[in-house]
Amino acid sequence: MQASSEQPLTPSRERLVALASCAVMVAVLAALSLVAIPLPISPVPMTLQTLGVFLAGGLLGPGLGVLTVAVYILVGVAGVPVFAGGEAGLGVILGPKGGYVVGFLLSVFLVGMAARAVGPKWRGGRCVMAMLVGLVAATAVVYVCGAGWLMLVAGMEVRQAIVVGVLPFAPGDVIKIAAAAALIPSVQRARALRRS
């Protein structure tokens, strides 16, 4: 991943495909952030933004996953409406909801590490359990960053930040964790089928 002077000028096909996949994942992440699904159990509609972050980590691995989320944030800062609900700009990152977006950087890394630990063999309950642990940890990190930033920026107390910034999203996130654990192997299988 390092751009040093010893590296040949023309990048290898593998490397270029990896970088192009990151760009595509940024676009997929943007598309998923705009999808809003109404939930019968929560007043907040669920966006698929965190699902996209989980999938980026699970499919690209920790390094490329972090690159993907970093570029997603930068493109949003540059004014393309890629954040949840079609928001954009530097104010979104530093504003009240900014902690979640920055938390994605850590969570994509965690999911990537979990996916790497689990490896390409996906059969068996133990692998699913390991993936679930990684996903729950990633979600917890997003909550800590999001609620922590909310406390800092909006001057809320812990309990207020949890009521405003964690509880409304919890039902959707349970769904997304389950979905990510099911989807990551499906997409990998579909890609493997296409290659062969």
Contact 103, 57 (CB under 8 A): no
CB-wise, 68 or 107, nearer to other proteins? 68
CB of 111 to other proteins, least distance (A): 15
CB-wise, 92 or 141, nearer to other proteins? 92
* Residue at 115: amino acid letter: A
**Phi, psi dihedral angles at 37 (to 5 degrees):** -115, 120
Contact 165, 147 (CB under 8 A): yes
CB-wise, 14 or 119, nearer to other proteins? 14
State in Å, rounded, how far the first CA of the chain is from the last one. Answer: 27
Crossing angle of the two packed helices 98-118 and 49-60, in degrees rounded to 10:
30
Report d(CA 164, CA 88) in Å as an integer: 21
* Residue at 11: amino acid letter: P
CB of 65 to other proteins, least distance (A): 12
CB of 141 to other proteins, least distance (A): 21
Tokens of 116: 């790497």
CB-wise, 97 or 110, nearer to other proteins? 97
CB of 173 to other proteins, least distance (A): 10
CB-wise, 141 or 185, nearer to other proteins? 185
CB of 108 to other proteins, least distance (A): 14
